[in-house]
Amino acid sequence: MFEIKIDKTSANQRADKFVRKYLNDAPLSFIYKTFRKKDVKINGKRIKENYILQENDVLRVYVTDEQLKEFNNPKKIEVLKANLDIIYEDQNVLILNKPKGILVHGDAEEKRITLTNLVQSYLYKKGEFKNDGVDFVPSPCHRLDRNTSGLVVFAKNLMTVQMITEKFQDHENIDKRYLLLVDGKIEKDGIIEAPLMKDADSGFVKVGSLKNGAKSAKTLYHVVWANKEYSLVEATLKTGRTHQLRVHFQYIGHPIMGDQKYGNFEANKKFKNMFDYDSQFLHAHSIEFHNLECELAYLNDKKFVATLGEIEQKIIEKIR
């Protein structure tokens, strides 16, 4: 049997999620069998798996010492060397300027050098992340594509990830802006409203109709400057669909430069020859929160900015 007193950082989550995290190597069937057998109790009383943990609850899970030894194996934290470009950090959040070429989360090809692993290693070395199976595992509140640079917000506790993730999902109380260089001259500011859907066969996102299952998508954009060949645009997401900016600007005839999936391939080839640059010119430039509550209210109306990389800045100087 193991017993844990729930503190403020572990409260407000489902009991089964907490137990699954603590017994991280246990099969799901074992976890839910433990609940069915009434071997999970709060303050001496049996609970269901969807019980929401409260601060100062005493959680007891009746497993053998052998099972505890077998199933409680927190992920090993590898000490990784990295120069994280930290824009802002406090007891709740860590905001980074992600470079191009690194994944936020791992995939089938890369599981080790990811932004999430680097952040967890950084906080582990600082002593802020215990990695004991109970402590909250620092997590990103949203994602960026591998080849998109810019701001990524990490949460250091459960309260933060729940509150900020919700803001990223509804886009009502967050201003998230990108800088992108697109093909051709855009004459004036505008709004793109075009529903998006993912093609199951090709994996491409495309503009579709709501009747056929596409989801509404809205992008606002402001032209920072433009010449005959290129436009530097600041875009604001009002929805958060996969590849939204890349597909929306392709849709209006101004694809993002260097985009190998949705771009103008002839223009990209010329651009690469001129600047030796073959990545999508897309950067998460700024984030500003509004109407955060309680412990995170101090972040309201603060604007966090990550400047363009040196390579991108030099390209813009040459183009202009």
The per-residue pLDDT for 110 is 52
Domains in the chain, number: 3
Residues 160 and 288 in one domain: no
Note the pLDDT of residue 111. Answer: 55
Last-in-domain residue among 132, 151, 167: 167
**Whether 43 and 67 share a structural domain:** yes
Range of weakest confidence among 11-20, 87-96, 165-174:
165-174
Q: Are residues 254 and 210 in the same domain?
A: yes
Q: Measured between alpha carbons, how far is 136 from 134 in angstroms, rounded to an integer?
A: 6
- pLDDT for 34-64, tens place per residue? 999 999 999 999 999 999 999 999 999 999 9
Residues forming beta bridges with residue 49, ordered by sequence position: none
CATH number at residue 7: 3.10.290.10
Instruction: Indicate if 119 and 152 belong to the same structural domain.
Output: yes
Q: Are 62 and 80 part of one and the same domain?
A: no
Query: For residue 298, which of 150, 140, 160, 165 has the smallest C-alpha distance?
Result: 160
Both 129 and 194 in a single domain?
Answer: no
CATH number for position 192: 3.30.2350.10
Radius of gyration of the chain from its Cα atoms, rounded to whole angstroms: 23
Out of 71, 98, 121, a domain closes at 71
The residue whose two tokens read 């955060």 is: 292
Q: Which two tokens stand for residue 27?
A: 């099969």
How far separated are the first and last CA of the chain, in Å rounded? 68
Question: What value does the mean pLDDT take over residues 291-310?
Answer: 92
Is the pLDDT at 108 greater than 70, yes or no? no
Confidence of residue 284 (pLDDT cuts 50, 70, 90): very high
Same domain? For 160 and 233 the reply is: no
C-alpha span between 189 and 249 (Å, rounded): 13
234: pLDDT confidence band, cut at 50, 70 and 90?
very high
pLDDT > 90? residue 112? no
pLDDT reported for residue 183: 96
Q: How many helices (H) and strands (E) does the chain have?
A: 8, 16
Catalytically annotated residues: 145
Same domain, yes or no, for 137 and 222?
A: no
| Domain C-terminal end among 151, 167, 183 | 167
pLDDT value for 302: 94
Beta sheet of 45-46, edge-to-edge order: 2-5, 58-61, 40-42, 45-46
The answer to whether residues 210 and 302 belong to one domain is: yes
Same domain, 159 and 186: no
Residue 107 has pLDDT above 70, yes or no: no
Query: Which pLDDT score, from 0 to 100, does residue 240 have?
Result: 87
Let me know whether 189 and 306 are in one domain: yes
Confidence (pTM) = 0.86
Task: Indicate whether 196 and 99 sit together in one domain.
Answer: no
CB 172 within 8 Å of CB 178:
no
CA 137 centroid distance within chain: 14
**Range of the structural domain that residue 80 is part of:** 76-167
Average pLDDT, the chain: 92
